[in-house]
């Protein structure tokens, strides 16, 4: 049963006591206020003493409501006052949440910035690049280049801080140390690849610092080619030491195939009946056909064919060929083909066989598009290096010019002296 409401010494304020609950030594009290609003009597509950309400606080609240009703400003009822208080409280809570959200966002942005700065350090990006390219055959060589020449210059820098001047410094250091222009080009190319990798993974969004770096010009093109006598002597000598090296060399010499194309040949690619070889996924990305000369056709005919997917040429351990055997180099050395040769472009290497094939084609009158097709060059510009070997018509024209000039010379009347 609810306790009866008791008056206080302040008019308009009453309270009732809790039946059993105490606040301190006295029973807990619940305060009420009574006042008039728009001519009507209104009574509203305030709250318990245990909730912080006292007679003085109740009096202040009642006085404020009466004053607001009298002046027409502010809340006239406790309900309105509570609604405003709730609105203020809600707004304060929303503001608190907004501040906390912005603070959390700022903290996260700072964390991301620190993480990104750390992640975009060249050494860190290089590690990620190496892990994602672990199956790359040239990765070992690239890591050596980076460790010796690039990391000492930019290793601790963030990608955003690395400029073209840094790359120029790497280039200058390598050239000063006597590294070849080709090696410098390779180092710059790897740096370019690392920055492209960083862009793809959102670690960098600026301009690649390798852009605009002027690279030293190089000409690594093989200039040496074998005469027919030299080529036959080389093949005969190879045949004495290794049939695999002999056959691989003969195929390159008569078809112009690259070593990688030969190493990847499978029996299903060899069509002896139609005298052609299918070259799949070659260097220029376009499948082509290589046609067999008599020597090549005879060679394949003498070999025992394997299953369609079997490799045509294997190492002694029955594995894929990864490079020409040392037998080739020993035979070349034994024949003295490179004696006294200092320029690497003039040395006889396995690639010389492919170059010899193209050179002999040019000297036999084959036009450049034909040579391009045989070699599998992507553009005719790559084949134009053989143009000087197929310009006999120019030589003939010059010879005719000489003959003509000699004829004119013999008919010239001297202009010295006077006519009689």
- Rounded CA-CA distance 63/68 in Å is 9
Residues of the chain with pLDDT under 70: 1-2, 110-119, 218-223, 281-285, 385-400, 402, 407-420
Q: Where are the beta strands (DSSP E) in 193-327?
A: 270-271, 276-279, 288-291
Sheet holding 13-23, edge to edge: 6-7, 13-23, 26-37, 40-48
Encoding tokens for residue 404?
């003509």
pLDDT value at residue 414: 54
Residue 209 CB coordination number (10 Å): 22
**First-last CA distance in the chain:** 166
CATH number of the CATH domain containing 268: 1.10.443.10
233 shares its domain with 189: no
| Phi and psi torsions of 18, nearest 5° | -70, 145
Question: Could you count the other beta carbons within 10 Å of the beta carbon of residue 242?
Answer: 18
Could you tell me the CATH number of the domain that includes residue 17? Answer: 3.30.160
Q: What is the pLDDT of residue 152?
A: 95
Q: Quote the pLDDT of residue 415.
A: 47
**Same domain? 134 vs 255:** no
| Residues contacting 277, CB < 8 A, separation 6+ | 255, 257, 265, 269, 270, 271, 289, 290, 291, 292
Of the residues 152, 184, 200, which one is the last residue of a structural domain? 200
The reported pLDDT for the residue numbered 373 is 79
Q: Return the pLDDT at 320.
A: 78
User: Would you state the pLDDT for residue 147?
Assistant: 94
Number of domains in the chain: 3
Are 263 and 342 contained in the same domain?
yes
The token pair that represents 256 in the structure block: 């112009």
Per-residue pLDDT at 379: 77
Q: What is the pLDDT of residue 417?
A: 46
- Based on the fold, state whether residues 247 and 194 are members of the same structural domain: no
Q: Give per-residue pLDDT as tens, 101-146.
A: 888 888 777 666 655 555 678 998 999 999 999 888 889 899 999 9
With CA atoms as reference, report the closest residue to 212 among 172, 163, 157.
Answer: 163
What letter would DSSP give residue 338?
Answer: T
Whether residue 207 lies inside any domain: the answer is: no
pLDDT of residue 386: 67
Same domain, yes or no: 60 and 174 = no
Which pLDDT does position 1 carry in this prediction?
53
| 363 and 232 together in one domain | yes
User: In terms of domains, do 52 and 156 share one?
Assistant: no
Residue 253 sits in the same domain as residue 184: no
Full domain range(s) for residue 19: 6-76
């Amino acid at each position: 049963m609810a306790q009866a409401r008791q008056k206080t010494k302040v008019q308009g304020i009453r309270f009732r006591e809790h039946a059993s609950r105490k606040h301190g030594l006295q029973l807990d009290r619940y305060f009420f206020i009574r006042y008039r609003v728009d001519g009507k009597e209104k009574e509203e509950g305030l709250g318990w003493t245990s909730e912080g309400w006292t007679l003085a606080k109740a009096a202040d609240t009642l006085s404020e409501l009466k004053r607001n009703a009298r002046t027409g400003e502010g809340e006239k009822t406790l309900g309105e006052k509570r609604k405003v208080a709730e609105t203020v409280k809600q707004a304060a809570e929303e503001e608190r949440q907004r501040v906390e959200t912005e603070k959390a966002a700022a903290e996260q942005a700072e964390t991301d910035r620190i993480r990104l700065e750390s992640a975009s350090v060249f050494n860190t990006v290089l590690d990620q690049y190496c892990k994602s390219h672990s199956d790359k055959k040239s990765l070992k060589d690239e890591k050596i280049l980076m460790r010796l020449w690039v990391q000492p210059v930019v290793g601790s820098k963030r990608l955003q801080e690395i400029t073209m001047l840094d790359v120029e410094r790497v280039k200058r250091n390598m050239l000063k140390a006597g590294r070849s222009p080709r090696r410098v080009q390779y180092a710059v190319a790897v740096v370019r690849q690392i920055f492209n990798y960083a862009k793809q993974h959102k670690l960098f969004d600026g301009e690649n610092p390798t852009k605009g770096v002027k690279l030293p010009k190089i000409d690594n093109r093989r200039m040496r080619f074998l005469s027919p006598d030299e080529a036959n002597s080389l093949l005969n000598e190879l045949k004495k030491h290794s049939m695999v090296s002999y056959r691989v060399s003969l195929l390159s010499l008569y078809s112009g195939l690259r070593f990688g194309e030969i190493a990847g040949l499978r029996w299903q690619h060899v069509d002896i009946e139609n005298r052609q070889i299918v070259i799949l996924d070659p260097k220029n990305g376009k499948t082509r056909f290589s046609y067999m000369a008599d020597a090549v056709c005879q060679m394949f005919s003498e070999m025992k064919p394997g299953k369609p997917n079997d490799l045509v040429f294997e190492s002694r351990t029955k594995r894929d060929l990864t490079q020409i055997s040392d037998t080739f180099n020993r035979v070349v050395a034994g024949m003295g083909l490179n004696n006294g040769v200092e320029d690497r472009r003039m040395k006889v290497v396995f690639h010389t066989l492919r170059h010899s094939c193209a050179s002999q084609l040019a000297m036999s009158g084959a036009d450049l598009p034909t040579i391009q097709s045989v070699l599998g060059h992507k553009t005719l510009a790559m084949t134009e290096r053989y143009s000087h070997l197929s310009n006999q018509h120019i030589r003939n024209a010059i010879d005719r010019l000489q003959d003509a000039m000699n004829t004119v010379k013999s008919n010239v009347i001297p202009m010295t002296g006077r006519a009689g």
